[in-house]
Structure 1
Amino acid sequence: MVARLCMGIACLLLAPALFANTGVAFVHGTGSQTDARNDYWTAAMVDSVASGLDDTARHVVVNCDFEQYMWDEAAAGCLAGQLYDFIHAHDIDDLVVITHSNGGNVMRWILSNPTWDGRYPDIIEATRWVNALAPSSLGTPLANAVMEGNVFESSLGWLLGYQNDAVRMQQTHWMAHYNQNWLLGTDGRPSLPRGFWSVVGSNVRVAVWSGNSYCGGYHYNVGLAVTQAWLDSCADGFLECDSQSGAGHVWFEDTWMMDNGYVLSHNQSRRPCFGLDNILRDDL
């Protein structure tokens, strides 16, 4: 938190001299998206955050096939193409990337492997930092369970899909291999070239009489409450806190900054719940 605050103050001091063109990109998680603005983030979330820009047109909502391995052309290649086109079309030299869940892994692949694709260096150069909402940096035991074909497959189909390559990749032992050999920013590895700031969801609250249980969709939160029982006590229903905080730096844990100290389930961390959108907007 202190390091992030200091960096933020530095940006404020330097901004008038730099005359930066700030833009924001929304990068979805696991799944093949064609309308992530409405189907994944909701227009309310995107529009609220983008309203913090001097020019609200300087935002892009990425739509890619994140059911593939992170390095696949349909995943990182698609993301790179959309980010590259966006920064050049709008002369963006100060890009804030907002990712959710597995989107953090795909973005971290780009940051970690600048020579893999000729578009990567321009993207890295333009990026201020990544705000990673509930990133699956160390994977999740639930991906292990889905690949083993047990009950989690049906419980998490709405969130993960089924036995696709992205789910396979997010198994904990697979992510350990990638983090050790291909990705930067985890313990014992070199730092990422740009800040990777995680927002950590710590629990799931579901009660029919509690209004905060309905934000983001009550039925989704009920499903996450079921899977929560199979994770560590600190988890958002899909990812344990250790995984969410496994790469880069922790920006904040939900209860530190959400309205009324509310927690964020894995679904709520991609929606305008409890002031999250306001925090992301102010960060621009």
Structure 2
Amino acid sequence: MKTYYTLILLGMFIFSPLAYSTTGIAFIHGTGNQTDATSDYWTREFVDSVRQGISTPANFQVINCDFDQYMWDEAAAGCLSSQLHSFIQAKNIDNLLLLTHSNGGNVVRWILSNPTWDSRYIDIINATSRVIALAPSSGGTPLADAVNQGSVFETTLGWILGYGSDAVKQQQVGWMSYYNDTWLNGTQSRPSLGKPFEVVVGSDVDSAIWDGDSYCAGYQYQVALETTQNWLDDCSDGFLECSSQSAAGTVWFTDKQKTAGKEPLSHQQSRRACFNLDSLIRNHI
């Protein structure tokens, strides 16, 4: 009889609301000073599709910060931690999913790697369950080196790089190598981030004018990224080489392994609802 009542009490606990966590998702943009990242960076279509993957889709936050600054700057990591901390407290989030793109992955890694830097960091770290990093610039990019040398890339990629901002300086290959060896965790021979850091790698750019897939997320961006790809490894999304994207965490998948029609994801397309990327993330979370 005692066993019987014990099982009943256990069952009541299992199905009690107290046994469930409160899940939330934050969309964290890349380089740039965003004031309306929903419309200008991700698109409402992408955000609304992805957030349906959590039990309470209303528990989402689209981050708007100045990621033209160094990752540790108050306008970057400070702004991100402030918005995440407020989100966690307002919604009682204890199962936080972070969806990042490009340089946003570096700002997130800064927070995860330096828990004592800011009093808000530890609450964010404790609440975070995992990070999904879309085309993260974990190893930097040769294009950032080129921009800071005042080359043609300054005009070709100004729409995404920001013309030699501090964030672009930070993403130079040698600079990121230094940060990865010292301040940031998650790369080879460094401590773990303590949270899963799952990476989606973009491996190519399609810009054929007759191919309808080249128009997803804006044909003009595909043309620009196809051009800059000539200065990168064969495996790249037009902005980042695959080796940079996969330098931290673990690779969840490389675009063609899972995308509709085995289409590649350019750096522009990996933050948009292209080739079922949004549904892949939605189903994954």
TM-score interval, normalised by the smaller of the two chains = over 0.9
Q: State the match for 2:266 in structure 1.
A: 265
Q: Deviations over 1:219-264 (max 9, x none)?
A: 0111000000110000000000000000010010001100111100
1:51 aligns to what SS in structure 2? Answer: helix
CA drift at 1:20: 1.3
Q: In 1, distance between residues paired with 2:93 and 2:44?
A: 22
Q: Deviations over 1:67-96 (max 9, x none)?
A: 000000000000000000001100111111
Change in 2 beyond 3 A, CA 1:17/1:252 = farther
Q: How does 1:237-256 map to 2 (within 5 A)?
A: 237-256=238-257
For residues 84 and 283 of structure 1, what CA distance do their matches in structure 2 show? Answer: 24
Q: Does 1:159 align with 2:129?
A: no
Q: Tell me the residue number matched to 2:11.
A: none
* Counterparts of residues 193-232 of structure 1 (less than 5 Å): 193-232=194-233
Gaps of 5+ in 2: 1-16
- CA displacement at 1:32 relative to structure 2: 0.1
One-letter identity of the residue aligned with 1:251: W
**CA distance in 1 between partners of 2:21 and 2:198 (Å):** 21
Match of 2:147? 146
Question: CA offsets per residue over residues 201-231 of structure 1, 9 Å max, x none?
Answer: 0000011111110111100111000000110
C-alpha displacement of 1:60: 0.3
Corresponding residue number in structure 1 for 2:275: 274
1:113-128 correspondence to structure 2 within 5 Å:
113-128=114-129
Partner of 1:12: none
Amino acid at match of 2:236: A
TM-score (norm 2): 0.93
> Quick one: distance in 2 between partners of 1:252 and 1:102?
19
Q: Which runs of 4+ in 1 moved over 6 A?
A: none
The secondary structure found in structure 1 opposite 2:154 is helix
- Rounded to whole Å, the distance in 1 between the matches of 2:118 and 2:196 is 20
1:203 and 1:89 map into 2 onto residues whose CA distance is 40
> C-alpha separation between the residues in 2 aligned to 1:183 and 1:244?
15
Counterpart of 2:149 in structure 1: which amino acid?
E
What one-letter code is carried by the residue in structure 1 that aligns with 2:158? G
C-alpha RMSD of the superposition: 1.6
- TM-score by structure 1 length? 0.94
Alpha-carbon shift at residue 17 of structure 1 (Å): 8.5
Q: Which runs of 5+ in 1 are unaligned?
A: 1-15
Instruction: Report the equivalent of 2:135.
Output: 134
Residues 18/133 of structure 1: CA separation in 2 closer, same or farther (3 Å cut): farther
Which residue of structure 2 lines up, in the alignment, with residue 109 of structure 1? Answer: 110
Which letter does structure 2 place at the counterpart of 1:271?
R
Task: Look up the SS of the partner of 2:53 in the other structure.
Answer: coil
Shift of 1:54: 2.1
Q: Distance in 1 between matches of 2:18 and 2:33?
A: 41
Q: Hey, what's the Cα distance between the residues in 1 that align with 2:51 and 2:195?
A: 21
Amino acid aligned to 1:215:
C
Q: Give the structure 1 partner of residue 56 of structure 2.
A: 55
Aligned-pair distance for 1:18? 4.1
Matches within 5 A, 1:64-79: 64-79=65-80
Aligned equivalents of 1:194 and 1:163: distance in 2?
31
Q: Deviations over 1:92-133 (max 9, x none)?
A: 111110000000000000000000000001101111110000
Task: Tell me how far apart the structure 2 counterparts of residues 210 and 18 of structure 1 sit (CA, whole Å).
Answer: 50
Secondary structure, counterpart of 1:229 in structure 2: helix
1:53 CA displacement: 2.2
Larger radius of gyration: 2
- In 1, Cα distance between the equivalents of 2:118 and 2:280? 33
Aligned length in residues: 272
